[in-house]
Amino acid sequence: MCDRASEKTLRQRSFVLQELFQSEVKYVAGLHFVAEHFVQPLVDAGDSATADLVFNSWLPITNLHEDFLTKLQHAYGQIHASKQKGADAPTLLTRSTITASRLVSKEFSEFSPFLKLYIPFVEKYNSALSRISADLRSAGTISRQIDITTARQDIKDGIFNGGLQPMLALPFQRLCKYGLLLRELSSTFSPSGRTGRCCLAAMQKVNDIVLKVNNAKAQGENGERLFEIQIAMADDKMHRIPSHLRQPMSKPLLQPSRHLLFEGGGAMLFQQPMPMMSPFLFDCAEIVEDAYLVLFSDILLINIKHEGPTKRREEKMQLLHCIELTSLVLTENKKTSARVPPTILEWTRPLPWSKLAIGLRWTEHDDGFLRAAFTQTLRMALAQHTTRCTRSVYS
């Protein structure tokens, strides 16, 4: 085939092809290592529950990539071991870079739908890390297997010297790299040419599946955190809040359509009924020293987060207000004074209750970051629920 690419482009293309293959070889070795030294021993020991929780879908993912590596090798042609000193992976291609690029792109296009196998793994990733940490503290089955594995000097000096948690992150690192390498490969061809179109199509298919995997991970993390917040408030009977005011909390926090958008503490809260005859003033408002704000896609929780254990599973929150975003207006004071909070939330409470004005001022060490993050996120969330505009006050 006639290839009019410059020498620099040819070197870049060859480098990307070699990197794709070399990194896949190393990735499969890492997958096989974890499968051989952790997943299978746990299964053989009768602890399938731990294997399923911590290494969910690891064996199918390993088999998938072993098969994919074989197909890649055929696409590249005959592979020779590099003669460079210190090289630990094959590097030399015998096919032309054009043919290899087109065949590799074809294999990626056929391979991409099977990347959905990663979804069960990423959904339980955080739970897996928690399980590993708990197991290490209690000297459980994973801890004992780590001791057995690291006792071998060849392993201690090699692939496992970083610990199990970094090994568990290998799938994320690999998924992110596929799209980048395919994009780099496609840049060495004309986008209107046959091979260039194949590279771009493969990149798009891989990126589409990786996006779905990332969304599944985000949803899994969102669900876990919602559950943790619900548990943190489980002991709070909300005696101070009339039942019709806490109506949004009558159902569990964990709802399919509810997403966590922001959470953070350190805000001093000032509240007073509305309508007010005078501007919002600190000296006539009820004060809460340290409010913890949790903003979801449909409600805002204002809590007091009790001091105590730092572990999330042991945290405790007392609910002060549960506000539906459809009944909330955000007011930002551009020119603040010592007696006027920079952020005011106007809450139209259910009848017969009046409106409530909630002023927020963040601690000095915040440097405006939390305020900006909260108000910007709240503004975007309100835009999804109401046509009312947020107001800016300049006096």
Single-letter code of the amino acid located at 277: M
DSSP3 helix / strand / coil % (the chain, rounded to 5): 55, 20, 30
Highest-scoring range by mean pLDDT, 3-12, 63-72, 262-271: 63-72
Confidence of residue 235 (pLDDT cuts 50, 70, 90): low
Outline which parts of the chain fall under CATH 2.30.29.30.
247-393
Examine the pLDDT at 142 and tell me if it is beyond 80: yes
pLDDT tens across 172-188, in order? 889 889 999 999 999 99
Confidence of residue 65 (pLDDT cuts 50, 70, 90): very high
Q: Is 68 left (phi over 0), alpha (psi -120 to 50) or beta?
A: alpha
Question: Which residues on adjacent β-strands are paired with residue 330?
Answer: 345
Outline which parts of the chain fall under CATH 1.20.900.10.
7-230
What is residue 55's DSSP assignment?
S
Examine the pLDDT at 153 and tell me if it is beyond 80: no
pLDDT tens across 317-329, in order? 888 888 888 888 8
Whether omega before 273 lies within 30 degrees of 0, making that bond cis, reads no
Nearest-angstrom CA–CA distance, 346 and 357: 5
- Residues 6 or more apart whose CB falls under 8 angstroms from that of 328 comprise 300, 345, 346, 347, 348, 382
Nearest-angstrom CA–CA distance, 316 and 303: 10
Single-letter code of the amino acid located at 172: F
The answer to whether 267 and 361 are in contact (CB under 8 A) is yes
Highest-scoring range by mean pLDDT, 13-27, 142-156, 218-232: 13-27
Whether omega before 275 lies within 30 degrees of 0, making that bond cis, reads yes
Confidence of residue 381 (pLDDT cuts 50, 70, 90): confident
The answer to whether 388 and 345 are in contact (CB under 8 A) is no
Nearest-angstrom CA–CA distance, 316 and 228: 10
Examine the pLDDT at 1 and tell me if it is beyond 60: no
The DSSP annotation for 105-170 comes to: HHHHHHHGGGGGGHHHHHHTHHHHHHHHHHHHHHT-HHHHHHHHHHTSHHHHTTTTTT-HHHHHTH
CATH among 2.40.50.140, 2.30.29.30, 2.60.40.1220, 3.40.720.10 for 247-393: 2.30.29.30
pLDDT for residue 290: 82
Nearest-angstrom CA–CA distance, 11 and 17: 10
Judged by average pLDDT, the poorest of 72-86, 167-181, 374-388 is 72-86
- Residues 6 or more apart whose CB falls under 8 angstroms from that of 366 comprise 266
Confidence of residue 31 (pLDDT cuts 50, 70, 90): very high
Judged by average pLDDT, the poorest of 106-110, 139-143, 295-299, 305-309 is 305-309
- Half-sphere exposure at residue 313, Cβ-oriented, CA atoms within 13 angstroms: 5
C-alpha 351, offset from chain centre: 40
The answer to whether 90 and 18 are in contact (CB under 8 A) is no
The answer to whether 260 and 381 are in contact (CB under 8 A) is no
pLDDT for residue 182: 93
The answer to whether 228 and 127 are in contact (CB under 8 A) is no
The pTM of the full predicted model, rounded to 2 decimals, is 0.62
Collapsing DSSP states into helix, strand and coil, what is residue 279? coil
Single-letter code of the amino acid located at 371: R
The enclosing H or E element of 10 equals: helix 7-34
Q: Which two tokens stand for residue 286?
A: 């009820």
| CATH superfamily label, 7-230 | Dbl homology (DH) domain (1.20.900.10)
pLDDT for residue 371: 79
Nearest-angstrom CA–CA distance, 61 and 39: 12
C-alpha 380, offset from chain centre: 20
Examine the pLDDT at 151 and tell me if it is beyond 70: yes
Nearest-angstrom CA–CA distance, 204 and 199: 9
Across the range 8-20, mean pLDDT stands at 90
Examine the pLDDT at 86 and tell me if it is beyond 50: no
> For the chain, what percent of residues have pLDDT higher than 70?
75
Single-letter code of the amino acid located at 244: H
Judged by average pLDDT, the poorest of 10-24, 125-139, 244-258, 324-338 is 244-258
Confidence of residue 85 (pLDDT cuts 50, 70, 90): very low
